[in-house]
């Protein structure tokens, strides 16, 4: 479970969310998320993705934050175990 924070759930008590600029950016982020999800739901995009072997995941900002948090935890041990180093 993802903990609520200023990215996943903006709350008025958090200093960042008291900033009008943050609230404006959060609204834009939600608008962009809705537009992306709308495009991903279209039959044309679904057909193209299927042809390419891709899977579209429609998600809320909170679900995407949870996905990113899980990926950040998952990959470092795998990269280390494989002995990979950044260039």
Domain spans of the chain? 15-81
Tens digits of residue pLDDT in 33-86: 999 999 999 999 999 999 999 988 888 888 988 999 999 999 999 999 999 988
pLDDT at 29 over 50: yes
pTM of the model: 0.56
Look at residue 45 in the predicted model and tell me its pLDDT: 93
Q: Is the pLDDT higher at 6 or at 64? A: 64
Look at residue 9 in the predicted model and tell me its pLDDT: 53
Look at residue 31 in the predicted model and tell me its pLDDT: 92
40's CB contacts (< 8 A; 6+ apart) are 46, 56, 57, 58
DSSP for 23-87 reads HHHHHHHHHHHHHHHHHHHSHHHHHHHHHHT-------HHHHHHHHHHHHHHHHHHHHHTT----
């Amino acid at each position: 479970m993802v903990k609520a924070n200023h990215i996943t759930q903006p709350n008025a008590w958090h200093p960042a969310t008291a900033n009008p600029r943050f609230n404006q950016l959060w609204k834009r982020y939600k608008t962009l998320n809705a537009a992306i999800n709308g495009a991903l739901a279209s039959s044309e995009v679904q057909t193209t993705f299927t042809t390419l072997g891709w899977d579209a995941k429609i998600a809320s900002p909170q679900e995407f934050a949870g996905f990113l948090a899980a990926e950040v935890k998952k990959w470092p041990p795998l990269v280390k175990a494989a002995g990979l180093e950044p260039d």
